[in-house]
């Protein structure tokens, strides 16, 4: 593509040769001659100068660069658009493989792809254009929207509702039983988990992530939420719209995560926690109770800035303890009478 075509595609303006031929799209550190890359912030400017990229998406013209520039409002977004343009998804399979198992009671809309060794249970409905990879299981009565992609060995148990444009990465498990028992007669008795899971449109769920079904009612993942790998979402949780959950985070049962909340990696959210819209949670935080709008870190979580300051003191605690001991000693020398009185 010519640079002028690229500029038109991403709604940008060119600084440099409009006829320059762009043959690929790549991050700064991977870019080769002919590639276009992008500059987010100024931190990567030095790296960009050493980069072999022929052109760069920028938010404003930068004199110090040799590369041709395309000025756009959001360079990273333009970068994503170009990646999609240069790397159209190739579908190597079409239609339903004879080596898949599709119940005769399942209803598949047009252009559904089912690879070998996928299992589609009784009464399942699948919308147009959805792709089901090998080893995927879809249990009886589940309803899947259109244009979904379910990668290999992902599992959707019975009675689950999934919207449109949903991506399940490999090994994801939707609708396993919630973890609920009642102790009686000397053992943990299983509380049957008879509820479901509702996954709204445009959700992406990471590899080997697990979303449990509700005890009764539904576990809900809101529209546009993006969930990374190896995340655990417990029964009856409500994840709001456009929430981000980074890898290895766990959300305990019946918790609510407000719209647009960002939660870092390895965060632990206790049962029955309410994280309000506008909250941003640092990696490894531990949450319980109600978490308001704001930035929080630590376990138990406190405001992020306070946490940073407390961590700094934590690192010098032995010194602080020593100082306190010295102060005690000095005071004793200063006021021997007082010490006597205390005895």
Pick from 9, 18, 45, 270: which binds a second copy (CB under 8 A)?
A: 270
Footprint on residues 2-21 left by a second copy (CB under 8 A): none
Half-sphere CA count of 321, side-chain side, radius 13 A: 5
331 lies in the binding site for a second copy (CB under 8 A): yes
Cis peptide before 94 (omega within 30 of 0): no
Pick from 20, 127, 204, 255: which binds a second copy (CB under 8 A)?
A: 204
Question: Shortest gap between Cβ of 82 and a second copy (angstroms)?
Answer: 9
Q: How far is it, in rounded angstroms, from Cα 327 to Cα 323?
A: 6
SS3 at position 296: strand
Question: Shortest gap between Cβ of 8 and a second copy (angstroms)?
Answer: 18
Footprint on residues 231-260 left by a second copy (CB under 8 A): 232, 234, 236, 242, 244, 246-248, 250, 252
Q: Kindly give the residue spans of alpha helices, DSSP state H, lying in the chain.
A: 3-10, 45-50, 75-86, 304-314, 317-334, 336-342
Joined tokens for residue 197: 């899971």
DSSP of 69-120: EEE-S-HHHHHHHHHHHHSPPP----SB-TTSEE-TT-EE-TT-EE-TT-EE
Footprint on residues 147-176 left by a second copy (CB under 8 A): 151-153, 155, 157, 167, 169-171, 173, 176
In terms of C-beta distances under 8 Å and separation of at least 24 residues, what long-range contacts does 243-248 make, across chains too? 246/283, 247/206
Which of the following is catalytic: 33, 87, 188, 235? 235
Pick from 60, 87, 94, 128: which binds a second copy (CB under 8 A)?
A: 87
Pick from 59, 229, 276, 278: which binds a second copy (CB under 8 A)?
A: 229
Q: Would you say 35 and 25 are in contact if contact means Cβ atoms under 8 Å apart?
A: yes
Q: How far is it, in rounded angstroms, from Cα 52 to Cα 208?
A: 37
* # binding residues, a second copy (CB under 8 A): 116
Pick from 5, 17, 194, 290: which binds a second copy (CB under 8 A)?
A: 194
45 lies in the binding site for a second copy (CB under 8 A): no
Question: Shortest gap between Cβ of 242 and a second copy (angstroms)?
Answer: 6
Nearer CB in complex with a second copy: 112/156: 156
- Binding segment (CB under 8 A) for a second copy, from list 7-15, 55-63, 129-137, 273-281: 129-137
50 lies in the binding site for a second copy (CB under 8 A): no
Question: Which of 39, 66, 64, 70 lies closest to 52 in space, CA to CA?
Answer: 66
Footprint on residues 309-328 left by a second copy (CB under 8 A): 309-318, 320-321, 323-324, 327-328
| Catalytic annotation present for 235 | yes
Nearer CB in complex with a second copy: 56/244: 244
Question: Shortest gap between Cβ of 63 and a second copy (angstroms)?
Answer: 26
Question: Which of 25, 37, 31 lies closest to 85 in space, CA to CA?
Answer: 25
Q: How far is it, in rounded angstroms, from Cα 343 to Cα 338?
A: 9
Pick from 13, 181, 292, 293: which binds a second copy (CB under 8 A)?
A: 181
Footprint on residues 274-303 left by a second copy (CB under 8 A): 283-284, 286, 298-300, 302
Joined tokens for residue 22: 């762009």
Helices (H) and strands (E) in the chain, counts: 6, 38
Question: Shortest gap between Cβ of 69 and a second copy (angstroms)?
Answer: 19
Nearer CB in complex with a second copy: 18/80: 80
Q: Would you say 143 and 175 are in contact if contact means Cβ atoms under 8 Å apart?
A: no
268 lies in the binding site for a second copy (CB under 8 A): yes
Q: How far is it, in rounded angstroms, from Cα 166 to Cα 174?
A: 12
Catalytic residues: 235
């Amino acid at each position: 593509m010519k640079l002028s075509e690229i500029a038109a595609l991403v709604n940008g303006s060119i600084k440099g040769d409009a006829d320059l031929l762009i043959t690929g799209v790549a991050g700064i550190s991977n870019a080769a001659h002919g590639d276009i890359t992008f500059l987010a912030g100024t931190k990567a400017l030095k790296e960009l100068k050493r980069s072999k990229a022929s052109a760069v998406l920028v938010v404003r013209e930068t004199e110090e660069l040799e590369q041709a520039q395309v000025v756009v409002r959001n360079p990273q977004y333009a970068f994503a658009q170009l990646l999609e343009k240069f790397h159209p998804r190739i579908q190597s399979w079409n239609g339903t493989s004879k080596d898949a198992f599709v119940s005769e009671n399942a209803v598949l809309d047009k252009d559904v792809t089912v690879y070998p060794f996928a299992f589609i249970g009784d009464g399942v409905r699948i919308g147009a254009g959805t792709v089901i990879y090998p080893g995927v299981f879809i249990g009886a009565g589940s309803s899947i929207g259109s244009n979904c992609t379910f990668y290999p060995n992902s599992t959707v148990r019975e009675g689950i509702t999934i919207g449109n444009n949903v991506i399940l990465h490999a090994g994801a498990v939707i609708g396993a039983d919630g973890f609920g028992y009642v102790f009686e007669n000397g053992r943990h008795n299983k509380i049957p988990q008879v509820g479901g899971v509702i996954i709204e449109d445009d959700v992406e769920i990471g590899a080997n992530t697990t979303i449990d079904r509700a005890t009764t009612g539904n576990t809900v993942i809101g529209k546009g939420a993006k969930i990374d790998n190896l995340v655990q979402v417990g029964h009856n949780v409500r994840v709001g719209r456009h929430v981000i959950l980074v890898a290895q985070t766990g959300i305990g049962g019946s918790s609510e995560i407000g719209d647009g909340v960002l939660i870092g990696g390895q965060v632990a959210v206790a049962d029955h926690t309410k994280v309000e819209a506008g909250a941003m949670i640092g990696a490894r935080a531990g949450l319980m109770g109600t978490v308001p709008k704001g930035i929080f870190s630590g376990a138990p979580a406190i405001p992020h800035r306070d946490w940073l300051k407390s961590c700094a003191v934590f690192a010098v605690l032995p010194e602080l303890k020593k100082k306190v001991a010295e102060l005690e000693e000095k005071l004793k020398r200063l006021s021997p009478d007082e010490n006597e009185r205390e005895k």
